Chain A
Amino acid sequence: MRRFQLVPTIQFSNGSHVGGYLQSVSFSTSPFGLDLESYGLFAGYDTQKWSIEGYAGSTTLDMQYSSLSSNNIGVTAALRPTDSFEAFCRFDQSGFSEGLGTSGSTFLTAIGAQYEVQKGLLAYGVMQRFNLRGESLKGYAVGGSYDLAAHGIDTPGTVTLEFAKADSGYGSTQSQVTVGWVIALGNAKAHPLNSSLRTARGGVRTPLATGFVNFGVLNVLPPA
């Protein structure tokens, strides 16, 4: 899986922002591959205690023998009642049409929370649901990150750990364990990237791209 995204953004002094995104996702596995090309516009508002952002755009999905296009909308919101706690949610919808005139919808909903237990020690929990043509894929994840330098360990980076479970609409269950190492450059703050935390907070736009990043291609393809 390869994903590339450019996001030009204009930030205003009142806390609001507008921008656009151009996203390309490709996935190849024997015996097939697919490509997702997405673009759109977004606008949002940030304060110290809460933030909200919405987007709208289009996606083209090319597979070996077929293609489909979709119109996407989505909204992400976060609430930060204290400096160390954040609750967040997202809702995305894609209405897609295929070459033979058929159509359908894809939904993605997510809710979660993260808590900074102490400086450099983060814990989080996430629930996500991906719905494609009435088939629902549910995901649950808990995880955390530990900043080595913040705890006196003379090694750069933050280690991350996530346990996730996905129940597909086809009667199968997948368990997942992810171990990672993260380095922040400049003024960025390290947080788990290959994680349900990132996708549930809206870090990947459009339901299909999020589904591929989060659950894997086999669970999000339309039934044959």
Chain B
Amino acid sequence: MFVAPSAHSEGLSFDGIVSVSESAFSSDLNSSDRIAFNLVSDVTFSDRFSVGLDIDYGQTSA
């Protein structure tokens, strides 16, 4: 069974989700494709404080 990599130490941890996807769009007028990369993550510094980091990137081709 796959075990996700982890980055946890005393008081500091990193948790996140990484996604790669492809979309196909089709409308009355045209069609296109989009490849997307998404990252949603949290760096937790203590029980009370964290900093979230999101990165979204998409490349559309007609």
Q: A9-B50, A9-B51, A9-B52 are in contact. Are A173 and B27 (CB under 8 A)?
A: yes
Say whether, besides A155-B2, A185-B15, A7 and B7 are in contact (CB < 8 Å): no
Select which of A9, A148, A160, A172 is within 8 A of B21 by beta carbon.
A160
Q: Assess the A7–B52 pair: CB atoms within 8 A.
A: yes
Interface mask (A151-162 → B, CB under 8 Å = 1, otherwise 0)? 000111100100
Residues of A within 8 A of B6 (CB): 185-187
- List residues of chain B with CB within 8 A of the CB of A184: 4, 15-17
Could you tell me the distance in whole angstroms from the C-beta of B13 to the nearest C-beta in chain A? 6
Question: Is B48 a contact of A185 with CB atoms below 8 Å?
Answer: no
Contact of A11 with B50 in the complex, beta carbons under 8 Å:
yes
Tell me, rounded to whole Å, the shortest Cβ–Cβ distance linking A174 to chain B: 4
Judged by a CB distance under 8 angstroms, whether A180 is at the interface is yes
CB neighbours of B58 from chain A (8 A): 1-2, 194
Q: When the two chains form their complex, are residues A180 and B20 in contact, meaning their CB atoms are under 8 A apart? A: yes
Q: How far apart are the CA atoms of A155 and B16 in the complex, in Å?
A: 18
Instruction: Knowing A3-B54, A7-B54, A154-B1, say if A186 contacts B8 (CB, 8 Å).
Output: yes
**Bound-complex Cα distance A175 to B14 (A):** 36
What secondary structure prevails in chain A residues at the interface with B? Answer: strand
The complex places the Cα of A31 from the Cα of B26 at a distance, in Å, of 21
- With contacts A172-B29, A173-B27 taken as known, whether A186 is within 8 angstroms of B4 at the C-beta atoms is yes
Check B52 against A5 for contact (C-beta < 8 Å): yes
Contact of A193 with B25 in the complex, beta carbons under 8 Å: no
Within 8 A of A (CB), among B1-45: 1-2, 4-8, 13-29, 36, 38, 40-42
Instruction: Using known A-B contacts A9-B52, A213-B56, determine if residue A186 contacts B14 with beta carbons closer than 8 Å.
Output: yes
Judge whether B21 and A179 touch: CB under 8 Å: yes
Instruction: Report A7-64 residues with CB < 8 Å from chain B CB.
Output: 7-12, 29
Contacting A174 at CB < 8 Å: which of B7, B13, B19, B27? B27
What is the bound-complex CA distance between A8 and B1, given in angstroms?
Answer: 34
Bound Cα distance from A205 to B42, whole angstroms:
16
Q: 1/0 contact trace for A115-127 toward B, CB 8 Å? A: 0000000000000
A147 to chain B, nearest CB (A): 10
State whether A12 touches B17 (Cβ < 8 A): no
List the interface of chain A (C-beta within 8 A of B).
1-12, 29, 148-149, 154-157, 160, 172-194, 203, 213, 216
Q: Which residues of B contact A (CB under 8 A)?
A: 1-2, 4-8, 13-29, 36, 38, 40-42, 47-58, 60
Please name the 9 residue pairs, one residue from A and one from B, whose CB atoms are nearest each other, closest first.
Answer: A180-B21, A7-B52, A186-B15, A193-B38, A193-B19, A3-B56, A156-B2, A5-B54, A174-B27
